[in-house]
C-alpha cells in the first residue's frame, strides 16, 4: 500500500522504514532535505514540498503527519486540506489533544476529507519491536488503512496468550485497535501515558525509600547497604512488579546505581496533563495519576512560592526561622 | 495553687508568668541559672536542681516538665520519679508521642505517681492569648490540677458562642479539655497539628497558583498582576477561608509579597508524622494530611533519587535527556 | 446609586436588601414574579422583564446578573447586550469560569458595553456580615461602581488590623478588591474555593482519625472516648487551626457528634475543578487541592471501577477473593 | 539438601514440592495432618509435631516457617528456639515486619541460633515459575542455605538480559538476592509491595477514566464506546506500560469487562502500611504509594465520617443539603 509521510524525525523515519521493509511504498517529505534523502536508499520516494508529495500519491491518498503536536501539526494539516481531494485521508500520528482531533475531523469532513488519529507507544524501539497503536477513525477509513497498521504493529509475537482468548488472533493481539471515532485513539493513548506516569512514580518512590535506607543520615543501626541494581534485577524474575519500566530501571542501575548521570528535572508532556483534566471533567478520582504529574512539576523547581509561604506561617505562629541546608 | 516548672524556655517561662499574674505560685528550675533568675522578679521561686525544686514544693506536688520531646523529657521524668513521693503528679507539657505517654503513666503508677499529658496550641502568643490545652489524665488528677488549667487557658473571651451551646460555659469553651486517659491529650494535639499542616498546605498551594498567574513565563494574554497581600487581606473579611493562619499570611505578605525572606525549606515535627502513622494504623484515608507532610519532606531536598529515576526511565524508553534549568 | 439586579435567589435578593438598607436604589427582575414582589416592601422597584428593567434604569446603566453559572447567565447576558446602550455595564456576580469572563468582556466591548465579574464569598451570611468581593474590571468601570461594592462589603469591622497596615484603610481591608481585568475576580474567587476545599478536607481527615479512635473495631487498650464536639470547641480558643470553618464544625457537632444527619455524598462546584485545571495549566503542584476534589468525587460513589480492578488483579496474582463487608 | 518446613498452606506446600522435584529433601509439619499427608506422595517426610520435625532433621538444621505474620509465626519461632541446637537456622518466609526480624535475630543469636528472613513474590504462580526471593541473613548462613534458594528461584530463564550485565549470571539474575542482615529481606519485599500498590492503583485509575468515558452520564457527544479488554490487550504489545499486572488485567477483562464479579472492597496487608511508615520515618515523599493505600482504605467504607463532616460544613456555610443518590 502507498502512504505519504510528512515529518521524518525518529518516528516518521522509522515508520517509513518499517513499511518499506514489508512491501509498502512511501512518499516522504520533511522541511529538511537531508531527512528526506536519508530515506531514499531504503526505497522511499522523496518529495520537495507538500504539494509535490500530494502530486506523487495516487488517489484516494493517505498522508501520515508525524510532527510535534500543536502548531506544526495543525498548520500542516490545514495546508494539506487545501491540497487534497475528496476521499483522501489525513493521519495524525503525533500526540494531539483528543478534543482537537474531534474538531478537525468535523471540519475536514466538510471537505469530504477523512481524519485518523493514531496514538502510538513504543518510542525509539518501534522500528524493531513494532508500534503499539490506538486508532481513532470512521470504520471505513480505518479498514482502508488497516494493511498499514497491521505492518506497523508488533504482531502476535512470542508473548503468552491472554487467558480466555482462544479464537483467531484479534487486532488487539496483533498490536493495534480501532478505539472509536476521531479522537478516541489519542484519548486511549493519553490514558496510557497517564498510567505510565503513575507506574514510573511508583517505582521512583519505592527506590527512593530503598536508597534512603542506605543513607548516612540514618542512625547506623537502622541503616542497610542495599544494592538497588540487584533489587531491580531480582524483581524482573517472577515478581509482581515485573514490567518493561522495571527492565529499563535495571538497565540504568547497572552502570549508575546512584543515578548521578540524571538531572531529576523531569519533563511532562501534554498527555499527562490532559489525563488529569479528563478525570476532573469525568469526576473520576485519580490521586495517583495527579500526584505523579505534580511530582514532575515539583522536580523542576527549587523552593516553590508555596513552600516559602509555609515558612512564613511557621515564623508567624511559632517564631521558627527556617534555613536552607 | 502551687506548681513546679522544669524547663524555662519561651513556653515554660510564659506559663510561669501567666500563672503568677493570676495568683498562683511557681517554683522554677532550668539548667540555665539565667533562665531561672529571669522569672524571679515576677515572683517565681527559683530552684537550683530538680531535688531542690522537689524540696521546695508542698505535697502532694505537681511538676510541669516543659522540655523538648524525647530524651530531655524522658530523662527528666525518670529523675523526678525517683525524687517524688506517692500521690505527686508529673505533667508533660511538651510534644510527646501519645504511646510514650501511656507507657510512662503505667510505669509511674507502679510508684503511685500520676502522669498528665498536656498538648498545647498557641505557641509564642500564649502568654497574652492563653493556651489552648488538650489534657490526658485520670479524672481525679485532672480535677486536682484544674485551677491551673483554667488560668492558663484563654477563657471564654469575646469569641461568638457556638450555636446550640447555651448552658453554663464548659471547659472546652474556656479553652481546655480533659480528652481522656494519659496519652489522649497529646493524641488530640497531634491531630490538631496534622490538620494544621493540611490547612497550611492548602493556603500554600492556592497562593502558589495566584503568584504563578503573574509569572512572566505565562503567555502575556494569560497573565494577571494579582496583589497577593490584598487577596489575603480581603479574604479575612467574611470569606469562608478566614482563619488565624490567613491572618498570619496577611501579616507576612504586607511587607514581603514575594516571600523572599523565607527559605521554603520547611521543617516538620513529630506530630505531623505520627498523625500519618495513626491514620495508617486506624485505616483512615488521609490524602491531604499525608500530602502536606510529603510536601515538607520534598521542600528540603534538591533533586530526589526518585526524580532522577524518572529521568533515567525517560531516557530508557524515549531517549529523553533532561537538563536542569 | 442605582443598580439593576437580575436573579433574585438568596444571593440576589440579599444584595438588593443590603443596598436598599444603605441608601442605594435597586430595580429588580426575576422569572418568578413572587421573587420580585418579595423585595418591593423593602423599597426595590420591580420589573416585569429584562426590557422593562433596562427601561427603568438611568443611563449609564449597571445591571448585576446573579444567576447560576453556565447557560442561565450566558443567555441573560446575551439578551441584555441587545437591550443596553453604549457605556452601560453588565456585572456577573455568579460563579463563572474566568476564561468565559475574558471572552465575554472582549465581545461586549465591541458593543461599547463594559463587563465586570464579581467573585463573592460569604454565602447565606452576606446580608448581615457583608460580602467579601473579588472584582475583575477595567479600572474606570470598577471606580464607577465602587460605591456599590463599598456598601456590599463587610467593611473594616472589628477584626484586628494586619501588622504593618497602618495607613488609611484600603479596599482590601474594607472587604473588596479590584483584582485585575475581566476574569481576575472570578479567578481569585476560584482559588479561594480551591483553598476552601483543602481546608475542609484537612478538618475532615483529622476528625475522621479522632472519631475512628473511638471505634469498637480498635483493640480496647488502643481505644479512647474522645468528645469531638468539645475538641472542635476547644480549638476555637487560641489554637492554630481556629477558623470560620472550625466554628461551623463546632456548630454541627454540638447537636450531632456522629454526623448521622449528613449523607457524606459531597458535591463539588466548578471552582474546585477549575482550580486543578489552572494549576495543571500553570504547572503548579497542588496535591492537597487535588486530593480534596478527588475525595468528593469518591464520596459520591460506592465501589469504583478502579476499586474493582484492584480486586481483579489481586485475584489474578494471589487468588484473593474480596467480599464486601 | 535437607529442609524442615512448618506451615503447609499453598506457599509452604509448593515450596516443598519445588524442592523435592529438584533433588532436595523436606521434612514437613502442619497443624493439619491432612496437609502433611498431602505432601508425602511427592516424597516429603511427614512430622507429627515441631519436636518430631526437629528430631527428624540432621544438625545443623534449617527450618522454614511459612505461616501468617504476627502471632502464628512468632509463637512457632519461640517454640522452635527451645527445641533447636546451636548453629541451627530458622527461616521466616512469611510477611514479617522487618523490625521484628531484627529483634528476633538478635534474641536468637543469644542462643547461637541463626535467623533468616525471606521475602518472596510470585504467589500462587511460584511452583511453576519459581519464587523471586529477597533474603536477609548473616553472610555465612545465607551461603549455607544458598542451594535451597537457587532451586526455589526462577533461574535465568528466557528473559532478555539487562544491558550491561555480561559476566557470569549473578544471584539477582537467577532470581534471589542476599539483601543484607536480618530484616533486609523483608524490607525489600515490603517496598516491592508498596510499589505494587502504586502500579495497581495507576492501572485502576486509568481504566476508571476509560470506563467512565463510556458512561451514559456523559453528554452523548463526549461519550465513546471503548473496549477496555482490547485496550489492555493492545498495551501488552510493545507499549511502555506492559507488565505482569497488565497481563492479569487483560485476563480479567476478557470475560468480565464490567468487572461485575469483583467487589471492589480492597484489602491491604501489612507491607503496604509499613512502606508508608518507613517513608515517614526516612522523610521520603511518597504521595503515590500513600494514595494507593488510602484508596484501599476508602474502598472498604461507605460514607466516611470525614465525608459527612464535609456535608456538615457545606450545610453550615451555604445551606447545602446533600442527599445520597
Peptide bond into A144 cis (omega under 30): no
Percent of chain A whose pLDDT exceeds 70 = 99
Among A27-36, A218-227, B123-132, D295-304, the least confident range: B123-132
Terminal C-alpha separation, chain C:
63
- How does DSSP classify residue B243? B
Rounded Cα gap, residues A213 and A215, in angstroms: 6
Query: How many Å apart are CA C226 and CA C206, to the nearest integer?
Result: 13
Q: Which residue from A285, A294, A298 is facing C297, i.e. has the nearest CB? A: A285
Beta strands B62-65 and D45-46: pairing type?
A: unpaired
Average pLDDT over residues A216-235: 95
Angle at A61 between CA A59 and CA A64, to 5 degrees: 170
- Report how far residue A308's alpha carbon sits from residue B204's, in angstroms, rounded to the nearest whole number: 8
Q: Which residue has the higher pLDDT, B166 or C79?
A: C79
Give the span between the Cα atoms of D37 and D45, in whole angstroms.
9
Q: How far apart are CA B89 and CA B113, in angstroms?
A: 6
**Cα–Cα dist A14/A26, whole Å:** 12
The helix or strand, by DSSP H or E, that contains position D66, with its residue range, turns out to be none
pLDDT at residue A221 greater than cutoff 70:
yes
User: Which runs of consecutive H residues, i.e. helices, occur in chain D?
Assistant: 10-21, 33-39, 50-56, 71-83, 98-109, 126-129, 139-152, 171-174, 184-212, 228-235, 244-255, 270-282, 287-299, 305-318
Could you say which of B131, B194, B240 has the minimum Cβ distance to residue C238?
B131
| pLDDT tier, C33 (very low <50, low <70, confident <90, very high otherwise) | very high
The pLDDT-based confidence of C315 (bands split at 50, 70, 90) is confident
Q: pLDDT band at D13, cuts 50/70/90?
A: very high
- Please state, in angstroms and rounded to a whole number, the distance separating the CA atoms of residues A237 and D269: 22
Distance between A203 CA and the closest CA of chain B, angstroms = 8
Question: Rounded to a whole number, what is the distance in Å from the CA of B127 to chain D's nearest CA?
Answer: 32
Q: Give the strands of the sheet with A62-65, arranged side by side.
A: A45-46, A25-29, A2-6, A62-65, A89-92, A114-121, A132-136, A176-180
Question: Is A76 a residue whose pLDDT tops 70?
Answer: yes
Burial bucket for residue C223 (CB in 10 Å: 0-12, 13-18, 19+): middle
Residues of A in contact with B204 (CB under 8 A): 304-307, 309-310
Q: Give the integer Cα–Cα distance in Å for B152 and B131.
A: 6
Distance CA A69, CA A120 (A): 13
Q: d(Cα A123, Cα A133) in Å, to the nearest integer?
A: 11
pLDDT of residue A325: 54
Closest by Cβ to C277, choosing from A280, A297, A304: A280
Name the 3-class secondary structure at C122: coil
CA–chain centroid gap for C127, Å, is 15
Q: Which of D294, D295, D304, D309 to probe by mutation at the B interface, max B CB count within 10 Å? A: D294
Residue A322's pLDDT band, with cuts at 50, 70 and 90, is confident
Instruction: Please state the rounded mean pLDDT for residues D12-37.
Output: 96
Confidence of residue A318 (pLDDT cuts 50, 70, 90): confident
| Residue D274 Cα distances to A83, B238, D188, angstroms | 62, 43, 11
Contact A324 B263 (CB under 8 A): yes
pLDDT score of C323: 73
- Are B297 and D291 within 8 A, CB to CB? no
| CA-based nearest distance C129→chain A, Å | 27
Residues of B in contact with D240 (CB under 8 A): 317
C204:D265 CB<8 A = no
Whole-angstrom distance, CA of residue A132 vs CA of residue B7: 67
Distance CA C69, CA A186 (A): 31
Mean pLDDT value across residues D76-91 = 98
Chain C residues lying within 8 Å of A240, measured CB to CB? 317
pTM of the model: 0.95
pLDDT at position C320 is 78
At residue C230, the pLDDT reads: 97
Instruction: Give the helix ranges, DSSP H, for chain A.
Output: 10-20, 33-39, 50-56, 71-83, 98-109, 126-129, 139-152, 171-174, 184-212, 228-235, 244-255, 270-282, 287-299, 305-318
Which chains, if any, share at least 3 CB pairs under 8 A with chain D? A, B, C
Candidates A276, A284, A298; nearest CB to C276: A276
Tell me the mean pLDDT in the region C166-177: 95
Burial of B39 (0-12, 13-18, 19+ CB in 10 A): buried
User: For B207, which of A125, A245, A305 is closest by C-beta distance?
Assistant: A305
How many other C-beta atoms lie within 10 A of the C-beta of residue B222?
14
Closest CB from A162, A192, A225 relative to D254: A162
Using only C-alpha atoms, chain A has a radius of gyration, in whole angstroms, of: 24
Closest residue of D to C288, CA-based?
Answer: D287
Residue D321 binned pLDDT confidence (cut-offs 50, 70, 90) = confident
Which residues neighbour B153 within 8 Å (Cβ) at sequence distance 6 or greater? B130, B131, B132, B133, B174, B175, B176, C237, C238
CB contact under 8 A, B312 and A262: yes
pLDDT score recorded for residue B325: 55
Q: What is the pLDDT of residue A66?
A: 97
Contact across the interface for D306 and C212, Cβ inside 8 Å: no
Enumerate the residues of chain C whose CB falls inside 8 A of the CB of residue B299.
none
What pLDDT is attached to residue D325?
A: 53
Asked if pLDDT for residue A148 goes beyond 80, the answer is yes
Mutate to test the interface with A, among D155, D205, D215 (most CBs of A within 10 A): D205
For helices D287-299 and D270-282, give the axis angle rounded to 10 degrees.
140
CB D213 within 8 A of CB A187: yes
Backbone angles phi, psi at A90, to 5 degrees: -110, 130
The CA-CA-CA angle for residues D211, D217, D219, to 5°, reads 105
Q: Is the pLDDT of residue D23 over 80?
A: yes
Collect all residues of chain A within an 8 Å Cβ-Cβ radius of residue C243: none
Classify strands A62-65 and A89-92 as parallel, antiparallel or unpaired: parallel
What whole-number percentage of chain C has pLDDT above 70? 99
Query: What confidence category does residue D123 fall into, taking pLDDT thresholds of 50, 70 and 90?
Result: low
Contact A295 C285 (CB under 8 A): yes
Range C110-138 average pLDDT: 90
Three-state DSSP at A83 gives helix
> Looking at A79, A138, A146, A196, which residue is catalytic?
A196
- The answer to whether the CB atoms of A207 and B295 lie below 8 A apart is no
The pLDDT, as a whole number, for residue C271 is 95
At residue A129, does pLDDT exceed 90? no
Contact call for D287 and B291, based on CB within 8 A = yes
Q: Give the model's confidence band at A124: pLDDT under 50 very low, under 70 low, under 90 confident, else very high.
A: low
Scored b (16 or more CB within 10 A) or e, D238-268 reads: bbbbbbbbbbbbbbbbbeebebeebbbbbeb
Distance CA A230, CA B3 (A): 60
Contact C291 A287 (CB under 8 A): yes
Average pLDDT of the residues in D286-302: 96
Shortest distance between the Cα of A307 and any Cα of chain D, in A, equals 14
Residue contact B290–D290, C-beta within 8 A? yes
Suggest the residue from B283, B300, B306 to mutate for an interface test with chain D (most D CBs closer than 10 A): B283
Please list the alpha-helical segments (H only) found in C168-269.
Answer: 171-174, 184-212, 228-235, 244-255
Which residue is catalytic, options D138, D146, D150, D196?
A: D196
ipTM of the complex: 0.95
Alpha carbons C69 and C104: distance in angstroms, whole number = 13
pLDDT of amino acid C124: 66
What's the mean pLDDT in A14-41?
96
Name the band, by pLDDT with cuts 50, 70 and 90, for residue C325. Answer: low
Q: Is C196 a catalytic residue?
A: yes
Give yes or no for a contact between B72 and B96, defined as CB atoms under 8 angstroms apart. no
First-to-last CA distance in chain B? 63
Among the listed residues C66, C69, C71, the one whose alpha carbon sits nearest the alpha carbon of residue C98: C69
Per-residue pLDDT tens digits for C254-283: 989 999 999 899 999 899 999 999 999 999
The model's pLDDT over A288-307, given as tens digits with 9 standing for 90+, comes to: 999 999 999 999 998 888 99
Taking residue C73's Cβ as centre, other Cβ atoms within 10 Å add up to 22
* pLDDT for the residue B324: 66
Q: Give residue D254's pLDDT.
A: 93
Interchain CB distance below 8 Å, D263 and C311: yes
Q: What is the pLDDT of residues A265-288, one digit of tens each?
A: 999 989 999 999 999 999 999 999
pLDDT surpasses 80 at C126 = no
How many other CB atoms are there within 10 angstroms of residue B41's CB atom?
Answer: 7
D139, with CB counted inside 10 A (0-12, 13-18, 19+), is: exposed
Confidence check: pLDDT of C324 > 70: no
C-alpha radius of gyration, chain B, whole number: 24
pLDDT for the residue numbered A149 = 97
Residues 6+ apart with CB under 8 A from B321: B315
Average pLDDT over residues D235-242: 94
Q: Is B196 one of the annotated active-site residues of the chain? A: yes
Residues in chain D: 325
> Residue A319: pLDDT band by 50, 70, 90 thresholds?
confident
Between chain B and chain C, the number of residue pairs with CB atoms below 8 A apart is 339
Average pLDDT over residues A205-234: 95
Contact D232, D243 (CB under 8 A): no
Q: Give the nearest partner residue to C244 out of B196, B240, B284, using CB atoms.
A: B240
- Give pLDDT < 50 ranges for chain B: none
In three-state secondary structure terms, B182 is coil
Coil, helix or strand at residue B248? helix
**Set of chain B residues whose Cβ sits within 8 Å of the Cβ of C18:** none
Residue ranges of E strands in C132-191: 132-136, 176-180
Kindly determine whether residue A236 and residue D130, on different chains, have CB atoms separated by under 8 Å: no
C57 phi, psi to nearest 5 deg: -100, 145
Report the pLDDT averaged over residues A234-245. 94
Choice among B74, B79, B138, B196 that is catalytic: B196
Q: Which residue in chain D is spatially nearest to C204 when comparing CA positions? A: D306
Pairwise CB contact (< 8 Å): B199 & C243: yes
Contacts of A312 (CB under 8 A, 6+ apart): B248, B249, B252, B253, B256, B259, B261, B262
A202, burial (CB in 10 Å: exposed 0-12, middle 13-18, buried 19+):
buried
Q: Has residue C21 got a pLDDT over 60?
A: yes
* Mutate which: B199, B203, B290, B309, vs A, most A CBs within 10 A: B309
Q: What angle do CA A102, A107, A109 make, to 5 degrees?
A: 95
Q: Mutating which of A198, A275, A277, A285 best tests the C interface, going by the most C Cβ atoms within 10 A? A: A285
Amino acid at each position: 500500500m502507498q502512504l505519504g509521510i510528512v515529518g521524518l524525525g525518529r518516528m516518521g523515519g522509522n515508520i517509513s522504514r518499517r513499511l518499506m521493509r514489508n512491501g509498502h511504498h512511501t512518499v516522504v517529505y520533511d522541511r529538511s532535505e537531508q531527512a528526506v534523502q536519508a530515506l531514499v536508499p531504503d526505497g522511499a520516494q522523496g518529495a520537495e514540498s507538500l504539494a509535490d508529495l500530494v502530486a506523487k500519491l495516487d488517489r484516494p491518498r493517505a498522508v501520515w503527519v508525524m510532527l510535534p503536536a500543536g502548531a506544526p501539526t495543525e498548520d500542516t494539516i490545514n495546508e494539506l486540506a487545501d491540497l487534497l481531494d475528496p476521499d483522501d485521508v489525513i493521519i495524525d500520528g503525533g500526540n494531539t489533544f483528543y478534543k482537537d482531533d474531534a474538531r478537525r475531523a468535523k471540519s475536514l469532513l466538510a471537505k469530504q476529507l477523512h481524519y485518523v488519529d493514531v496514538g502510538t507507544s513504543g518510542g525509539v524501539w518501534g522500528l524493531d519491536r513494532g508500534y503499539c497503536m490506538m486508532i481513532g477513525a470512521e470504520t471505513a477509513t480505518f479498514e482502508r488503512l488497516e494493511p498499514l497498521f497491521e505492518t506497523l504493529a508488533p504482531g502476535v509475537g512470542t508473548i503468552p496468550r491472554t487467558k480466555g482468548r482462544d479464537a483467531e488472533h484479534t487486532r488487539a493481539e496483533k498490536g493495534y485497535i480501532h478505539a472509536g471515532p476521531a479522537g478516541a485513539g489519542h484519548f486511549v493513548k493519553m490514558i496510557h501515558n497517564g498510567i505510565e506516569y503513575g507506574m514510573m512514580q511508583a517505582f521512583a518512590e519505592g527506590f527512593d525509600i530503598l536508597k534512603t535506607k542506605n543513607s548516612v543520615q540514618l542512625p547506623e543501626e537502622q541503616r542497610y547497604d542495599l544494592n538497588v541494581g540487584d533489587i531491580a534485577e531480582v524483581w524482573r524474575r517472577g515478581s509482581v512488579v515485573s514490567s518493561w519500566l522495571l527492565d529499563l530501571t535495571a538497565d540504568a542501575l547497572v552502570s549508575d546505581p546512584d543515578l548521578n548521570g540524571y538531572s531529576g528535572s523531569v519533563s511532562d508532556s501534554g498527555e499527562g496533563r490532559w489525563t488529569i483534566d479528563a478525570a476532573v471533567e469525568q469526576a473520576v478520582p485519580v490521586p495517583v495519576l495527579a500526584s505523579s504529574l505534580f511530582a514532575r512539576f515539583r522536580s523542576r523547581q527549587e523552593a516553590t512560592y508555596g513552600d516559602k509561604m509555609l515558612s512564613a506561617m511557621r515564623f508567624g505562629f511559632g517564631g521558627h526561622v527556617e534555613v536552607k541546608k
